[in-house]
């Protein structure tokens, strides 16, 4: 995938919607700084995602396509969103943010993700069938 061998998924528990089924992690200084720079939209299709941890904000310098950004607090609650953040921008910095999810543009709209939503992030796992999991509980 993009940056690290650790892959997983990001699931919006509030909306019962997957945000990313192929999630990579940027957890080193260099990988956080580089992010998606130099990639094209074909290498970051719907279903892909990059979890940048720790992070209080992002930039889209040297990027070629817009992205959606979800700002998460330490409990993985959405505290801010940036919809279709265009290339060559510096997004808001939030001191209430512990990490961010970078997703293909229009992911927020299609999933209905909003401030206050609870996001589940699982690494080294494949996506779970949450509807089936809920019905067996």
User: Mind listing the pLDDT tens digit for each residue in 84-131?
Assistant: 999 999 999 999 999 999 999 999 999 999 999 999 999 987 666 654
How many other CB atoms are there within 10 angstroms of residue 115's CB atom?
Answer: 11
Average pLDDT over residues 64-85: 97
pLDDT at 3: 46
Alpha carbon distance 8, 133 (integer Å): 17
Can you give the pLDDT at residue 52? 96
Q: What is the pTM of this model?
A: 0.87
Residue 6 pLDDT:
58
Mean pLDDT of 26-48: 91
Q: Pick the residue with more confidence: 38 or 14?
A: 14
Evaluate if residue 13 carries a pLDDT over 80. yes
Q: What's the rounded Cα separation, in Å, for the pair 110 and 21?
A: 15
Strand intervals (E) in the chain: 7-12, 17-26, 48-52, 67-72, 78-85, 99-104, 119-123
More confidently predicted of 74 and 6: 74
Write down the residue that tokens 């290498």 correspond to: 43
Distances (CA, A) of 73 to 19, 64, 97, 125: 17, 28, 5, 22
pLDDT of 136 reads 42
Task: Find the range with the poorest average confidence among 32-46, 52-66, 69-83, 93-107.
Answer: 32-46
Distance in angstroms (rounded) separating the CA atoms of residues 100 and 8: 15
DSSP label at residue 20: E
The mean of the pLDDT values for the chain is 89
- pLDDT score recorded for residue 66: 97
Position 1 pLDDT exceeds 50 = no
Asked whether the beta carbons of 103 and 49 are under 8 A apart, the reply is yes
Q: Do 67 and 60 meet the contact criterion of CB atoms below 8 Å apart?
A: yes
Question: Going by DSSP bridges, is the β-strand pair 7-12/119-123 parallel, antiparallel, or unpaired?
Answer: antiparallel
């Amino acid at each position: 995938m993009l940056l690290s061998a650790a892959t997983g998924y990001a699931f919006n528990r509030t909306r019962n919607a997957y945000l990313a089924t192929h999630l990579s992690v940027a957890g080193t200084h260099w990988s956080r700084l580089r992010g998606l720079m130099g990639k094209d939209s074909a290498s970051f299709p719907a279903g892909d995602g990059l979890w940048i941890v720790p992070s209080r904000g992002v930039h889209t310098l040297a990027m070629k396509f817009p992205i959606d950004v979800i700002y998460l607090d330490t409990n993985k609650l959405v505290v801010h969103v940036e919809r279709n953040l265009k290339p060559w921008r510096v997004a808001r910095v939030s001191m209430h943010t512990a990490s961010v999810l970078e997703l293909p543009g229009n992911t927020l709209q299609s999933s209905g993700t909003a401030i206050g939503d609870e996001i589940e992030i699982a690494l080294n796992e494949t996506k779970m069938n949450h509807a089936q999991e809920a019905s067996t509980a």
